[in-house]
Amino acid sequence: MKVFFLGTGAGVPAKARNVTSIALKLLDERRAIWLFDCGEATQHQILHTTIKPRRIEKVFITHLHGDHIYGLPGFLASRSHQGGKEKLTVYGPKGIKEYIEVSLSVSQTYLQYPLEIIEIDEGIVCCDDQFIVTAKKLDHGIPSFGYRVVEKDLPGTLMADQLIEDGVRPGPIFKRIKEGETITLEDGRIINPKDYVGPPQMGRIVTILGDTRFCSAAIELARNANLLVHEATFANGEEQLAHDYYHSTIAQAAAVAQQAGVEQLCLTHISSRYERSEWSQLEEQAKVDFPAAVLAEDFKEIDIPRK
């Protein structure tokens, strides 16, 4: 599980930062990638990476401001042209269905893969045997959501060497033991899986928020997350400006991380008013309140290992 930043800027594309798009790489877990927001030129950013559009199986849109969705029609079309055949599901606030359908219809774009569009509200967005994704409304000028991605706990590691040492031959029986089945061997011995399977591996939690002021919903979504991705459009000292434009300062993002008890905070959606020479100062501002904070940059990747 890795979080890869395709765009980390706010409002309009800039030379140093493209607008928002974040890839959650789940290649080991499900040979797939999930995309969070798709700002203008996201497909251009992808060209500079090893990401294959056909691997992207889900797109989660936080809100309908242009810097988060203008790249979506182009990406959907390119995925089709580049050999994407598998189903793609787009989740987003009310209005995302009309936006996509009108864009594709007017441009006479015909996709070569099934496209499902789900307009969301608060609660469980999607759930399968590996992950559960929930959403909550944040505090922005238009409906803006944050997403909490929870990996379900995994079975513990099978102690295969110990089984072999105890005279159990490798084969399908190993799988049954790992899945928790009690086995009676031909010689009458009973194999209790608790004796040969380690403790469960805790699933990881990633919280990715849309644009927002400081709010309790952000804290709830981020509770005990391994990684929180939070917007920090403005530097400290610009609290009034952040409030007026429904955004957050660095200190406010750090306060969410602190109150939620997250392991790591990554700040994104940085205003283009801050030059590259100022980025290290912005990161230092965050570290004052939350030492495990980093500032996102385009093409930065954060690994989220299992414990």
pLDDT tens-place string over residues 249-276:
999 999 999 999 999 999 999 999 999 9
Distance CA 242, CA 228 (A): 20
Question: Is 209 a residue whose pLDDT tops 90?
Answer: yes
Mean pLDDT throughout 104-121? 97
Neighbours of 279 (CB within 10 A): 16
pLDDT of residue 43: 97
The CA angle 41-88-209, to the nearest 5 degrees, is: 60
Question: Is 129 a residue whose pLDDT tops 80?
Answer: yes
Mean pLDDT throughout 273-300? 97
pLDDT of residue 53: 96
Contacts of residue 98, Cβ cutoff 8 Å, sequence gap at least 6:
none
| Greatest distance between any 2 Cα atoms in the chain | 76
Q: Indicate which residue of 28, 37, 67, 289 is catalytic.
A: 67
Distances (CA, A) of 187 to 7, 76, 198: 61, 59, 25
Question: Is 307 a residue whose pLDDT tops 80?
Answer: no
CB hemisphere CA count around 85 (13 angstroms) = 1
Could you read off the pLDDT of 4-44 as tens digits, one per residue?
999 999 999 999 999 999 999 999 999 999 999 999 999 99
pLDDT of residue 199: 85
Q: Reply yes or no on whether 187 is catalytic.
A: no
Could you read off the pLDDT of 81-94 as tens digits, one per residue?
998 999 999 999 99
CB hemisphere CA count around 64 (13 angstroms) = 14
Taking each helix axis from N to C end, the angle separating 279-289 and 250-260, rounded to the nearest 10 degrees, works out to 40
The CA angle 128-64-106, to the nearest 5 degrees, is: 100
Average pLDDT score over the chain: 96
Mean pLDDT throughout 107-115? 97
Q: Which of 18-22, 97-101, 165-169, 287-291 is predicted least confidently?
A: 165-169
Could you read off the pLDDT of 170-186 as tens digits, one per residue?
989 998 998 889 999 88
Total-model pTM: 0.91
Could you read off the pLDDT of 39-69 as tens digits, one per residue?
999 999 999 999 999 999 999 999 999 999 9
Closest to 93 measured CA to CA, from 120, 53, 132: 120
